[in-house]
Structure 1
Amino acid sequence: MGAITAACQSSDGTTIEPKIPVSTPVALTAEFMKFLRYNDTLATPALKLLDLYLCMWDSYVVKSTRKLQLEEEQRQLQVSTKWLASDSDILMQICSEQALVLWYRSRG
């Protein structure tokens, strides 16, 4: 996630600069709270925006985690598929050899 570094202006014209780049939900919440101290008329829209952001962040984290889990599961399935294909080839070869042995015995 990129850092948020935009300045805000309070109702009295004071410019509010974040001290550090905002890169986590906790830091973003702190920046919102600092901003709201200077401009309380924006409290409701700002809190709605923050709530929306936090919901989206949670969704992103959950979906990213699930994506990583699915990628790992897919990798494991590919390994299993290769192993099964190899074993299948070996079993087919053994069955063919056994069929030849049985055929020769039945002729002999």
Structure 2
Amino acid sequence: MVALRGKTKLPDGDKFFWVPLEPIGPRDWDPPGALIFYAYWWKINAAGRGKFWGNWFQPKPDQVPKRETWVCVEWRMMANTASKEDGELDCWIDGKKCGAFRVIKWRSTDALKVN
């Protein structure tokens, strides 16, 4: 088991990448908050003091699900070619595309697959 939140070591590019979709809030949004991808991979940006936290990919406009309402959330992730920054992450909410993130190098080896 890998402890991900507050991770102090940069993940190895041949071991894993992890990209859940989750709400953040309350900030300026009503509960449950806006949906973001909270991603860990070997190219994440340092958070300071040598620690690495997940980086956000935030769909735009802000996607704040209505409480007690069914929402259809779909996302597609394409792993990069090991030698290129050609990975992708796309998101649709209720059939409307709200996120298209490109130029991502999720992994350092083609042997690591999306699971």
Structure with higher helix content: 1
Alignment TM-score, normalising by the size of structure 1? 0.20
RCO higher in structure (CA 8 A, sep ≥6): 2
